[in-house]
Structure 1
Amino acid sequence: MARWEPGARERLVVAAVDLFTEQGYDATTVAQIAERAGVTKSTFFRHFHDKRELLVAGQDALSRLLSEGIADAPPEATPLEAVAAGLERASSAMGPMNRQLGPRLKAAVAASTELQERDALKSVSLAAAMATALVSRGVPAPTADLAAEIGLLAFKRGYAEWSETDATAELDLAHYALAALNRLRAASASLG
């Protein structure tokens, strides 16, 4: 096994998602994931504590990018405009591999209660990162929480739509996430 080849972390994520889709999360072992990725088990454990952690690969970076985008929004930006800036920043880090894995990851999560729980925790963490960034801008906590939840929903909807479209389409994730945010903004205005 060529442990020294670059991209081990990415290969492990792809291998795990493929195996989770093919044979289910519970039936997939760390050894199988490592073998499929062309690395040793010890290399797996240098990157991840367990196979559940593969689902949240990149979560810290995504939280940081969302927060940075919100922090860097113009001072006069409304909470949702700041969230839009966060979505744009985070979307810039999502490339072809993320797009390709989307539908398979969605299927793997839908088939496993354990992965659904981990995905829910990831969502809570991303929303909390956005809310904290908004509060740091002086947004009151209830407003920050609501804006963050709307931002999270927009990101999820945008990501789902982006990952299910033709990979040759020129529109990037930011387009889909911002369009979803605008639809949610309009929907929230109709709540009365």
Structure 2
Amino acid sequence: MLQTLALIRARADDPESVARLARSQERELRTWLYDDRAEAGTSVASDLRGLVGEIEDARIHRSGDGGTEAVAIDVVVVGDRTPTEATRALLQAAREALVNAVAHGAPPVSVYLEVGASEVSVFVRDRGDGFDPGAIAPDRFGVRESILGRVRRRGGTAQVVSRAGWGTEVRLTVPVDDTEEQR
């Protein structure tokens, strides 16, 4: 924490960098205070929070006035489980959806994870202008394969809902089975 404070002081003239450092330190402190500190790879919820942190630290949002602002993603998690191949694919798809929301949508960006007895769902939402998912060119594979296809190949469902003035929501669900081999 002292290193982060020293970096913040050294970069006081760069508000984007200061915000990124502060957010990173806040995540670390919240994990230390409130999480049961699951080991890496043992918690879908922790894995989701980790990938959100990576995106927040690596990305910036282009504001309407031509400037940039640090990215903040709201995370809500209900339940947890040990990751499986299906949930790993789900989180990889969620990562792609979050990167798209930050790059092409508008804040606030949010992600909701719900772990049930037989399925795990993730919803990624932004409040941008929206787009027509049917108008995606056939040679563009980002949404089609990296998000939707990745989840569907695991027996899940995937949908993009987007409307002008409302934004975009990516809805992803994969089935899980407690007898599935845990890796």
Whether these two folds match at TM > 0.5 is no
Q: TM-score, normalised by structure 2?
A: 0.26
Please report the TM-score for the alignment, with normalisation by the length of structure 1.
Answer: 0.26
Choose between structure 1 and 2: higher strand proportion.
Answer: 2
Which structure dedicates a bigger proportion of its chain to helix?
Answer: 1
Higher RCO, 1 vs 2 (CA within 8 Å, ≥6 residues apart):
1
